[in-house]
Amino acid sequence: MSYDMSQFYQVFFAEAAEHLESMESLLLALDHDSPDVEQLNAVFRAAHSIKGSAGTFGFNDMAELTHVLEGLLDRVRKGELPLGDALIDACLEARDVLGGQLATHRDGAPSRPEAALAVSRRLAALAAGEAAQAVPLPATRAPVTVAAVADALFEFVLDAPGGSQQAVLEVLSAELADFGSVSIEQPASAADQPWQLKIAACRDADAAREVIGFVAHDVHLLAAASASSADADWGLFDDAPAPEAADDSYGFFEPQAPAAETDADGWGLFAENLPPPPANAADDSYGFFTDLPANPAPPAVEAPKRAAAANGETTIRVGVDKVDLIINQVGELVITHAMLQQIASALDPIEFERLHSGLAQLERNSRDLQASVMSVRMVPISTVFNRFPRVVRDLSAKLGKQVELKLSGEGTELDRGLVERIADPLTHLVRNSLDHGIETPDKRLACGKPATGRVNLKAYQHSGMVVIEVGDDGAGLDRERILAKARERGMTVSDNLADAEVWALIFEAGFSTADQVTDVSGRGVGMDVVRRNITALGGRIDIESMAGIGTRMTVRLPLTLAIVDGMSVAVGSENYIVPLGYVLESLQPEPGMIKRMGGVNSLLQVRGDYLPVVVLHELFGIGNAETDFSRGIMVLLEVDGRRAALFVDALLGQHQVVIKNLETNYRKVPGISAATIMGDGRVAFILDAMALVSKAAAGMPAAA
């Protein structure tokens, strides 16, 4: 009887992704001169596991490629082949192709059989002891033949508020100009409806989709019609032609006699048995070979049996949507508890002692439950950091630079949703450090620096925030060059600007100091998107730089996007929530503590320090609020070493609140980061402490 294996696909997809990630990190960590045998065995086991499981589920393209990779790795671990850059590069390329094949089966991404064929031939040549040449896509977008060109239609949701969408689309159109003729169609109705973008005669749909994905989400390739003729067999978006023989599931290799020896799983298909590349293979970097003879079907493969742990499984796989559902329910529980607490506050604590005691116990249990559930959602930032050794290795080689990457704080945990959305901005910051920061070896030696530059990637928790630093020991930002570029773009800038204000100019849309456009940088798209994406997460980014010493970019993010401890304050008839992590203390000032200076906000003198005062009722235009400083309350806040005083009418209490995204449900409001539902059912705004303190400390009106 037939058995439906599709129910186990998600398990295979998750495990294969883990094996590929492990394979990449192990390959990058291998010592060329004296490789660790256990590391080699671990890489081999990862490839072997993918091969066995892929064959079981019928994903023959992955099984074929991993078998060739496995044969090469087996010879290396047995000492029959030396380990070198060419071999590691080939294995990393195979890992990338396997990742693409996995995405095809999991997400329906376009397949690229020609890439699998090219890397298989490269691995086979290395296994045979030949000096195989790399066959990656060209570094620059070279012209391709007409048969490989197609009209591509994309659909996406733009990551930009309505007021800035046009500017983002203009930058996106300029970025995509090298791919073909671009036309964009605006959605007819609601702002959250998808946009459509067409690239006529698109030269690389995969690369185009990556560019679109940096400023949008839910990017889909709707169609890719051939722009030349219907007879083009190997267009970028056409499937590879089916093999002639109906029972041929491989289609990559020439028929071959059964090998005298077979490996343990009975495949009997060794890399050294592969035919040599055709004579013109060196001229075909894309591997477009159409005359592929059919093969006999491979022998059946049994699924590898896992040995069950004697004490049972120690982990289980749970979908993120289920965890999110539990977190939402815990949030509702917190709101319900606040409502009960509000009702109970009007009851006599002596007469209803047991009720008050029960509510206190419920609050403790709710907090413990919330902490436990949030710990499930929290993941180490190493899931993002682990990609950067490969990024640094590949990009430094492309730029002709020597760069060492130092990671620290990989165990720092933050919300899974933040991890997934911070990956792209961090990747751009690291690439920026390599391209614009680190100098070439000859320039570094001329400056008295070591030839090898260093990029530091560091994460830690501070004041209820996750802090991520991307630093380098390069040339630093060129103040005069940035100002000159700003003037070229028609921006009004002064030579007296503070360094922080000059560095902030690089976040302007379309701003770039590069002399020429390359495939790494120069188009002016990126840093503005980085800042917008980080701000959308409730975070901020700061820059420090010294000429000849280096640059450090610091990203600060909230620990979680779900629940926060806050202090409830009253201003007139309105209630606001101040995140407790920023509160130092609160006090009722005496008249002599208030100082006023011309052109500067009121200052509060506290133990010899003068703190700028943020007056909430003036900021938000609230009537019937307390205006006498000596009769209200000053809440002292500290953010990143800067302090300010928040003037409110009264303190109402401290409690947990469930964060509700305000921008999604309404719009962005200056000084407000989110909203929440109070125990009495009213909506209260959560103050953006970072924005308020920053503007107040700079001596600017908080409502600017």
* d(C-alpha 178, C-alpha 274), whole Å: 38
Strand-pair partners of 407: 457
- If asked whether residues 374 and 385 sit together in one domain, one would say no
- If asked whether residues 454 and 467 sit together in one domain, one would say yes
At 404 the three-state DSSP class reads strand
- If asked whether residues 545 and 664 sit together in one domain, one would say no
Closest CA to 576 of 680, 474, 674, 438: 674
* d(C-alpha 679, C-alpha 332), whole Å: 11
- The answer to whether residue 51 sits within a structural domain is yes
- The answer to whether residue 247 sits within a structural domain is no
* d(C-alpha 449, C-alpha 415), whole Å: 39
Residue in this structure with the two tokens 């995509």, named with its chain if needed: 176
Considering Cα of 317, then 322, then 328, then 334, what sign does the dihedral take? negative
- Residue 472 has a pLDDT of 93
- The answer to whether residue 243 sits within a structural domain is no
- If asked whether residues 340 and 466 sit together in one domain, one would say no
Q: Which domain holds residue 483?
A: 381-558
- If asked whether residues 87 and 208 sit together in one domain, one would say no
Is pLDDT above 50 for 517? no
- Residue 457 has a pLDDT of 93
> Total structural domains in the chain?
5
Report which of residues 466 and 417 the model is more confident about: 466
> Domain ends where: 558, 586, 617?
558
Is pLDDT above 70 for 268? no
DSSP H/E element including 610? strand 609-615
- If asked whether residues 64 and 14 sit together in one domain, one would say yes
- The answer to whether residue 293 sits within a structural domain is no
- The answer to whether residue 567 sits within a structural domain is yes
Percent of the chain past pLDDT 70, that is, above it, reads 75
At 467 the three-state DSSP class reads strand
- The answer to whether residue 288 sits within a structural domain is no
pLDDT-based confidence at residue 262 (cuts at 50, 70, 90): very low
At 222 the three-state DSSP class reads strand
How would you classify residue 641: left for phi > 0, otherwise alpha for psi between -120 and 50, otherwise beta? Answer: left
- If asked whether residues 217 and 173 sit together in one domain, one would say yes
- If asked whether residues 346 and 216 sit together in one domain, one would say no
- The domain that holds 624 is classified in CATH as 2.40.50.180
- Whole-number Cα distances in Å, 589 to 238, 571, 576, 670: 73, 17, 20, 27
- If asked whether residues 546 and 664 sit together in one domain, one would say no
DSSP H/E element including 223? strand 216-226
Q: What is the mean pLDDT of residues 648-667?
A: 79
Is pLDDT above 80 for 106? yes
* d(C-alpha 390, C-alpha 663), whole Å: 36
- Residue 516 has a pLDDT of 53
Pairing label, strands 609-615, 642-648: parallel
- Residue 259 has a pLDDT of 38
Q: What is the mean pLDDT of residues 452-458?
A: 93
The conformation of residue 336, written as its DSSP 8-state character, comes to H
- The answer to whether residue 1 sits within a structural domain is no
Tokens of 213: 């994905």
- If asked whether residues 218 and 276 sit together in one domain, one would say no
- The answer to whether residue 603 sits within a structural domain is yes
- Asked whether 644 and 611 are in contact (CB, 8 A), the reply is yes
- For residues 589, 591, 595, 599, the Cα torsion angle rounded to the nearest 10 degrees is 100
> Domain ends where: 238, 260, 283?
283
- Asked whether 389 and 457 are in contact (CB, 8 A), the reply is no
Is pLDDT above 60 for 586? yes
Q: What is the mean pLDDT of residues 555-568?
A: 78
Pairing label, strands 550-558, 465-472: antiparallel
- If asked whether residues 215 and 74 sit together in one domain, one would say no
- Asked whether 374 and 558 are in contact (CB, 8 A), the reply is no
Tokens of 268: 């009997």
Q: What is the mean pLDDT of residues 261-282?
A: 38
Is pLDDT above 60 for 391? yes
pTM: 0.54
pLDDT in tens, 221-230: 876 654 443 3
pLDDT in tens, 588-638: 888 788 887 655 568 888 888 888 888 888 888 888 888 888 889 999 988
Is pLDDT above 80 for 478? yes
Is pLDDT above 50 for 305? no
- The domain that holds 18 is classified in CATH as 1.20.120.160
- The domain that holds 197 is classified in CATH as 3.30.70.60
Report which of residues 193 and 342 the model is more confident about: 342
User: Which ranges in 296-440 belong to alpha helices (H)?
Assistant: 320-344, 353-377, 382-385, 388-399, 416-432
pLDDT in tens, 529-545: 788 788 777 778 889 99
Strand-pair partners of 459: 468
- Whole-number Cα distances in Å, 127 to 86, 87, 281, 287, 470: 12, 9, 17, 19, 39
> Domain ends where: 379, 394, 428?
379
Q: What is the mean pLDDT of residues 568-586?
A: 88
- If asked whether residues 417 and 351 sit together in one domain, one would say no
Ranges 337-351, 510-524, 587-601: which has the least confidence: 510-524
Closest CA to 692 of 576, 570, 575, 548: 576
* d(C-alpha 41, C-alpha 127), whole Å: 17
Tokens of 437: 């920061």
